[in-house]
Amino acid sequence: MNRFAQTARRSTAMLVLVLLSACDPLAFARGTDPAHNSPLATATQASAPGAPLDITYRVSAPDRRAHLVDVEMRIGGVPAAARELDLELPVWAPGSYLVREFARNVQDERASTGGGPVPIVKSAKNKWRISLPGGAAGIGTRTVVVTYRVYANELSVRTSHADADHVYLNGSNVFMYVPGRKSLPVRVELDLPDDWQVATGLRPAGPAPAPAGNAQTARAFTAPDYDTLADCPIEAAPGLQILRFEALGIPHEMALWGASNVDTGRLVTDTKKIVEAAGAVFGNSLPYERYVFIVQIFPGGGGGLEHSNSTVVQTNPWGLQKKDSYRGFLELLAHEFFHAWLVKRIHPPALGPFDYTSENYTRMLWLMEGTTDYYGSLLVKRAGLMSEDDYWKDLAKQIGSLQKTPGRRHQSAEEASFDAWIKYYRPNENSSNSTVSYYLKGMILTAMLDLEIQGRTKGAKSFDDVLRQLWTTYGQRGLPVPEDGVEPAVEAAAGSDFTAFFDAYVRGRAEFDYNAFLVHAGRKLVIEAQKNDDRITPVAGAYLGARLSESDGRTLVSSIAEDSPAWAAGLSVGDDVLALDGYRVTASSMDNRLSDRAPGDEVRLTIFRRDRLIELRVKLGERPPENYRIEKIGAASDGGKVSADRGNP
């Protein structure tokens, strides 16, 4: 049954993607796939040297209410002599560093040629092999047609989702590719109901003929290769609101899917300011011909994912009239937008061109994500959308988050970056004790590095100059940044040696001496313990160091801070806490009970551990600092300037 010839009465989302056969003959003669750094298939494979291919993807969603997407992949130009053809599907989505096994959502694979069905079998978790019948003396070519279905019911920025309201596609989890043929240009044709709009970073190419059996006119797009196809998500919906504006002479679109209380006029104005503030870092220029912001708005929505000339961000619907929520959303937009330079064009060798079949390791995620996080706030400040006080308040809050993470003592910024694939996206109850976020540590590291550069140069240079150095040396020339390339760029920009800084804070696990850096901006960090101002008799209160949660009427230990009193007493995650000094305690009452105690007091905790009643004696400690703020101490020392005020070369 042909599932792809639908009638005009169906509200079907169809995509036809044609991989043009304008391939480089020398590329085939070389016989290597740069993504895998290994020989291409043997002469019995359709991907052997001298075998140019025409590849067409057609995607439809007739059963989108069941979250199913149908894919037809037509591979033309297959040599008649070929006996096998391999296909692969990525196992991860660039920008989200975890092997997610997208092939787990693929089902009902079938293959055929003009002569009828042919065998297609899995050869690995994300690979398929098609067996082809022999042709007449091996002369000429033929077309192989592959069909499969993708279950698309995960509404995140890195996955795909189809339902009655929209079709959202991420190429890395939908489109298979022929190994060694990812460099071919792509033509995309979208056949959608007349009332549907489309948002994508793919290049528009005008109308195209409709598929057989459908009276509608398709819309066409192009991309130069598979990497670009995978990097251009597609949002299509009948209620898609598309706003347009121009910034620094470049057209931009903002596509909003979902209802909200956002002021769209203000959002466009503010986004334009952010784009211009980012462009100012790189000489008031932008690295693309067109940019698309895809904003998905739904309850529980959050997060974002960067692409070369687009981004997808998610947000909750009804908080965008609140100052803090709206500003947080602008910071998210700024973060993902700044990736147009940092990650998509300024990146280490591991992050492009991609190996889609396994992990791509780098020690530079602290720069790719942490520095981008730093500029997310900085750009909002420079755009005039955040006050000076709020900027320093946010930085103090981030410093507090880092200092409350014991794992900062066990992972350097480089180590956290390298281990992202196995630790950051797979946290457990001990993660805060053993790991640190490369976002968080990288953000603080960049802030301190920026201040240090400004201090040494008396305000003449900043981290902006480092980014421009990386851009002109590598990104603008299409070259990856070597794994050891950041330190020389810092030294070139600042004109001094930064070996000690990188040894301590990038490669090492040293604690930041915050005030040694903040002084360059005329600021200091103030740290205070939590006060019990509501008590009749003020006391300092005591500290246990265990986080409790309620589950089925039980009070369970969900995490324990390293070197805390609970840690020293032998309390364990999963223990069922019954009483403190003989009186029942719950997750909600524990803080009040500890407020009655003083540091140094010894208490009895009664617990169940695997149904065995145990009593532990715990010597309570002092509460760790809770409040972090950054205050002025006068004029900036050494002529340094507040980094939030910089941005023009």
Q: How confident is the model at residue 48 (pLDDT cuts 50, 70, 90)?
A: low
506 and 367, same domain (yes or no): yes
Shared domain for 507 and 560, answered yes or no, is: no
Q: Cα angle at 623 between 620 and 624, to 5 degrees?
A: 130
Q: Is residue 512 part of a domain?
A: yes
180, 211, 237: which is the final residue of a domain?
A: 237
Nearest Cα neighbor of 61 from 166, 135, 156 is 166
Domain end among 212, 237, 262: 237
So what's the pLDDT on residue 3?
Answer: 34
Residue (of 148, 152, 167) closest to 13 by Cα position? 167
Residue 397 DSSP symbol:
H
- Mean pLDDT, all residues of the chain: 87
Lowest mean pLDDT among 30-34, 131-135, 264-268: 30-34
If asked whether residues 415 and 463 sit together in one domain, one would say yes
Mean pLDDT to the nearest integer, 404-415: 97
- For residue 361, the Cα-to-chain-centroid distance in whole angstroms is 15
Does residue 160 have a pLDDT over 80? yes
Identify whether residues 375 and 436 lie together within a single domain: yes
For the stretch 378-387, pLDDT in tens is 999 999 999 9
Question: Does 467 share its domain with 579?
Answer: no
> Does 364 lie in the same domain as 220?
no
CA distance 111 to 120: 6
In a domain, 637, yes or no: no
- The number of distinct structural domains making up the chain is 3
Whether 84 and 225 share a structural domain: yes
Note whether residue 375 is domain-resident: yes
SS (H, E, C) 193-212: CCCCEEEECCEEEEEECCCC
| 79-127 per-position pLDDT tens digit | 988 999 999 999 999 999 999 999 999 999 999 998 899 999 999 999 9
Q: Residue 550's domain is classified under what CATH number?
A: 2.30.42.10
Average pLDDT over residues 506-527: 97
Query: Is position 548 within any domain?
Result: yes
Please provide the size of the chain in residues.
649
Any domain includes 187 = yes
* 272 inside domain: no
**Residue 62: which domain range?**
14-237
Calpha distance 467→461 (Å, rounded): 11
* 547 and 456 inside one domain: no
CATH number at residue 215: 2.60.40.3650
- For 284, the token pair is 């008031």
Cα first-last separation, the chain: 62
For the segment 341-361, what is each residue's pLDDT rounded down to a tens digit? 999 999 999 999 999 999 999
Tell me if residue 105 falls in helix, strand or coil. helix
Please give the model's pTM, rounded to 2 decimal places: 0.88
User: Is 134 inside any structural domain?
Assistant: yes
Question: Residue 541's pLDDT band (boundaries 50, 70, 90)?
Answer: confident
421 and 498 share one domain: yes
pLDDT for 507 beyond 70 = yes
Structure confidence at residue 136 (pLDDT):
52
Q: Is the peptide bond before 649 cis (omega within 30 degrees of 0)?
A: no
Q: What residues does 112 pair with on adjacent strands?
A: 117, 145
Answer yes or no: is 631 within a domain.
Answer: no
In degrees, rounded to 5, the angle at the alpha carbon of residue 364 between the alpha carbons of residues 363 and 367 is 150
Burial of 312 per CB tally in 10 Å (0-12, 13-18, 19+): buried
For residues 95 and 202, membership in a common domain is answered with: yes
Say if residue 550 is in the same domain as residue 517.
Answer: no
The domain that holds 359 is classified in CATH as: 1.10.390.10
